[in-house]
Amino acid sequence: MKQIKRDIAWREFHISRKTRDHYQFSQTLFATNGNVIFANFRAALVFAQKMNDKRDLVRFPEQAVKAGQINAMGLIDEIFHYIVAQYRDQKNPEAMAKALVWLEARLGKDVVDKALHTFTDAFPPIRVYRREIRADEYLAGDTDGIPNRQILLEELLMLWLENLNPAFAPYLELFDDAELKKETSYVAVLTELHAFFETQPPFGPDNQNQVDMLRSPSTAVPHSLSGQLEYILMRWGPLLGKYLYRLLTSLDLIKEEEKPVFFGPGPSLVPAYDKGLDEPERFSADRDWMPRVVLQAKNAHVWLDQLSRKYQRSITRLDHIPDEELDIVAGRGFTGLWLIGLWERSAASQRIKQMCGNPEAVASAYSLFEYEIARDLGGPEALRNLRERAWQRGIRLASDMVPNHMGIDSRWVIEHPDWFLALDYSPFPSYRFNGPNLSWDGRVGIFLEDHYYDRSDAAVAFKRVDFWTGSEKFIYHGNDGTSMPWNDSAQLNFLNPEVREAVILTILHVARHFSIIRFDAAMTLTKRHYQRLWFPEPGTGGAIPSRAEHGLTREQFNNAMPVEFWREVVDRVAQEAPDTLLLAEAFWLMEGYFVRTLGMHRVYNSAFMNMLRDEDNAKYRRVMKNTLEFDPEVLKRFVNFMNNPDERTAVDQFGKGDKYFGICTMMVTLPGLPMFGHGQIEGFTEKYGMEYRRAYWDELPDPYLMERHEREIFPLLYQRHLFAEVRDFVLYDFWTTEGYVNEDVFAYSNHCGDERALVVYHNKFAEARGWIRSSVGSAVKNPDGSKRIVQRTLGEGLALHQDERHFTIFRDNATGLEYIRGNTELCERGLYIELG
């Protein structure tokens, strides 16, 4: 393979002299030194930016040149050279020398040389373009022992292929061969070159004429550069060698540019748990208090402002929260209080939000300076005071953690810039950093990309300047790949063991202050998704712009991060802070993985909110059935909610009527952890942003809504011991009188000791009548670790005595009415119910 390496070392992607002069390119498109695996994407970015600088993209945005397309054209050209070199190496070492003899015999040496000379002048190699050598001197010389006439003939072939390729047409100005056609017998030369290869050994998977083989990608997929790369991958894969990874990452670069933007986690999907069968089972055991947690969320600043209005006095610190308010929280049956936004926030985040239009904004609760209780909330002493008073009432405090990133001016960014994902150059040449310095430290400058301020673009990185040394780093913003980068955050590099240890120590620090820790966007730090987002395996990229270039193979990534970060966290917390409940906000069908394999105590179940709101009842029953058949312990570890801080409020999604209370009843009677949003009980409709210091809408609690909670919901919170576990949880089918299962009806039972509960809810504005008789399948573990699927009758689910002397009395929780049924009928026929 020495011949191939030597040939590739001097190949260039040629563009016309006229185009070089017009755009003032400072370098060739690619640095093809034969040693690198991945394409030089930065060169393509700079090249595209040079072209865009000369275009009126404000008026004609469709004329924008994309680096991914430029890179694709260059790579196709380079692969073609590589295929030609392989052909010489494997089949026909003197192919180009013989071709010149053939052409001169049929067209004449002068005709051939004129075409080569004109090409050299119009599309000059670097040495000719720099006037280090004249065109005729280059034509007469050689490179590494290979006559330049042979090299130029090959380049002439490449130019012809580029002009014939419809997908190259938008960039025709780079390699337009019109002048060659007009002044030389260029077309005749290429026609005869094709005829020559008809007499030579064929090549490739289809045993083609060499020219036909090189034309085949554009013939098969004429109008798509990515399609042509995919064709090359599928048809020529075994021939590509080192170009395989470069091709895959080049496809990823195109995906980055073409990726649509979505907001939020996306639609809820039904987990199949197929992959879970191969993942180890490592549940974390609950402490005795954990199954009975009922969580109330509060945006700290907004709540303090609301309490100030309610109690008609200034309440601005945690230790100002009245005992009367804690009594109310405990009296309703809540055992956990999640206070959002307690940590010292980024001053830069606040400044950015104020500059962008909200003069009253505080920093985002997820853009942190450091993990210390904010001074304006009273600091650690105020937290200690609140924690002690809450615990006297049986309330444990919960807090957020955002381990994925820190604020852009955080102490870590100032003192440990090497802990963050960064480049020594701007990821995109178009970025400008001319705004104000957002740093609080005179040694360091922090500059947000200019277009963030007018919201005309969302850069993936910000600039950090060390004023002492003059060095610059371009640090990536936090990003989950679903929407825009979080512009007030700095992305930590979890491939750095020092970073992982620092974050774990911070988590342990938080655990000393809070019994419950909620990890925001936890799925982004799993190995699967951290690699996908930041170091994509070639062929899987496209999530975050500019990261395809930094992809790693699976082996390389596993060497850098051998163990799941969250598994490390769970194990360390179990050793050093064992009385801490770890709760993960996780989407992307990773819920089962987080609790069963990574060992989190609880995990978000967004399907509950989304599917029941939209009345996708069959889908949510499928979620429950799949989970029960896989492992019921997963169901016990779901966090069920009707809204969370990133979503619309509960009353906005579910209203204030029977639908709301039906879903709320399900939330508090299913296994798992029920979580109520800020303002949910009061019926508030304003969604409180993470930067809010106060509520902007003047809303009063809805007396009707609160009274129904007092009557129908809060009594159930005191019975969480009856609903929290899954050992005796049974989900039933509701068989209609017509003989089919009504998927809109949820019917399930649970029991604890002598207490039993049956919950039936019809999540549809319609009538339903039928029988609850038998359950869906549920996994039961055998002594040897295997499992079997069992179904139970209603009588078995309620643990009833089956004989004619026993009867069961049902008390309706909503109406207080009582019903009596014979146990024999319940066990043999089931329970007949009519629902509105």
pLDDT digits (tens, 9 = 90+) for 131-141: 888 999 999 99
Task: Reply yes or no on whether the pLDDT at 731 is more than 90.
Answer: yes
- Band of pLDDT at residue 276, cut at 50, 70 and 90: low
Share of the chain above pLDDT 70, in %: 95
pLDDT tens digits along 618-631: 999 999 999 999 99
Q: What is the mean pLDDT of residues 105-117?
A: 96
Contact 461, 474 (CB under 8 A): yes
Residue scoring higher pLDDT (523 or 4)? 523
pLDDT tens digits along 583-608: 999 988 899 999 999 999 999 999 99
Task: Return d(Cα 256, Cα 544) in angstroms, integer.
Answer: 6
Q: What is the mean pLDDT of residues 373-400?
A: 97
Residue-level pLDDT at 266:
60
Task: Return d(Cα 461, Cα 441) in angstroms, integer.
Answer: 20
In a domain, residue 400? The reply is no
Q: What is the mean pLDDT of residues 799-814?
A: 90
Residue-level pLDDT at 246:
87
Residue-level pLDDT at 689:
86
Q: What is the mean pLDDT of residues 810-830?
A: 90
Pairing of strands 581-584, 516-519: parallel
In a domain, residue 584? The reply is no
What does the mean pLDDT of the chain come to? Answer: 91
Domain hosting residue 249, numbered range: 2-258
Strand partners, 832: 771
Counted domains in the chain: 3
Spell out the SS3 assignment of 445-487. EEECCHHHCCCCCCCCEEEEEECCCCCEEEEECECCCCCCCEC
> Burial of 10 by CB count in 10 Å (0-12 exposed, 13-18 middle, 19+ buried)?
middle
Residue-level pLDDT at 284:
96
Terminal-residue alpha carbon distance, the chain: 78
Residue-level pLDDT at 35:
24
Among all chains, which residue has been given the structure tokens 């930016």? Answer: 49
Tell me the torsion sign for CA atoms 476, 480, 483, 487.
negative
Q: What is the mean pLDDT of residues 454-476?
A: 94
Question: What's at 801, amino acid-wise?
Answer: H
Residue scoring higher pLDDT (66 or 274)? 66
Q: Which residues, other chains included, contact 817 with Cβ-Cβ below 8 Å and sequence gap of 6+?
A: 811
Task: Return d(Cα 449, Cα 464) in angstroms, integer.
Answer: 11
Question: Cα 144 from chain centroid?
Answer: 48
Spell out the SS3 assignment of 565-619. HHHHHHHHHHHHCCCCEEEECCCCCCHHHHHHCCCCCEEECHHHHHHHHCCCHHH
Q: What is the mean pLDDT of residues 500-525?
A: 97
pLDDT tens digits along 313-357: 999 999 999 999 999 999 999 999 999 999 999 999 999 888 887
SS3 403: coil
CB count in 10 Å sphere of residue 675: 26
Among all chains, which residue has been given the structure tokens 């043999």? Answer: 828
Task: Reply yes or no on whether the pLDDT at 86 is more than 60.
Answer: yes
Tell me the torsion sign for CA atoms 564, 566, 569, 574.
negative
Whole-prediction pTM? 0.89
SS3 192: helix
Task: Return d(Cα 147, Cα 100) in angstroms, integer.
Answer: 11
Residue-level pLDDT at 360:
79
pLDDT tens digits along 174-190: 999 999 999 999 999 99
Domain limit, last residue, from 212, 238, 258: 258
In a domain, residue 708? The reply is no
Q: Tokens at residue 673, please? A: 């952890």
Task: Reply yes or no on whether the pLDDT at 677 is more than 60.
Answer: yes
Residue-level pLDDT at 356:
80
CATH number where 752 lies: 2.60.40
Backbone φ and ψ of 581, nearest 5°: -90, 120
Pairing of strands 745-752, 755-762: antiparallel
Mean pLDDT comparison of 230-244, 655-669, 805-819, highest-scoring range:
655-669
In a domain, residue 26? The reply is yes
Burial 461-470 (b: 16+ CB within 10 A, else e): bbbbbeeeee
Torsion of CA 749, 751, 755, 758, to 10 degrees: 0
Contact 334, 427 (CB under 8 A): no
Residue-level pLDDT at 730:
97
Domain limit, last residue, from 231, 258, 285: 258
Residue-level pLDDT at 11:
47
- Band of pLDDT at residue 2, cut at 50, 70 and 90: very low
Q: What is the mean pLDDT of residues 258-279?
A: 69
Question: Cα 605 from chain centroid?
Answer: 17
In a domain, residue 602? The reply is no
In a domain, residue 276? The reply is no
Task: Return d(Cα 242, Cα 225) in angstroms, integer.
Answer: 20
In a domain, residue 596? The reply is no
Lowest average pLDDT, out of 33-42, 126-135, 733-742, goes to 33-42
Strand partners, 143: 146
Lowest average pLDDT, out of 3-7, 114-118, 183-187, goes to 3-7
Residue-level pLDDT at 44:
82
- Band of pLDDT at residue 261, cut at 50, 70 and 90: low
Share of the chain above pLDDT 90, in %: 76
In a domain, residue 194? The reply is yes
Residue-level pLDDT at 30:
34
Domain limit, last residue, from 258, 273, 294: 258
Task: Return d(Cα 715, Cα 769) in angstroms, integer.
Answer: 28
Lowest average pLDDT, out of 20-24, 403-407, 666-670, goes to 20-24
Task: Reply yes or no on whether the pLDDT at 520 is more than 60.
Answer: yes
Q: Tokens at residue 494, please? A: 């979890």
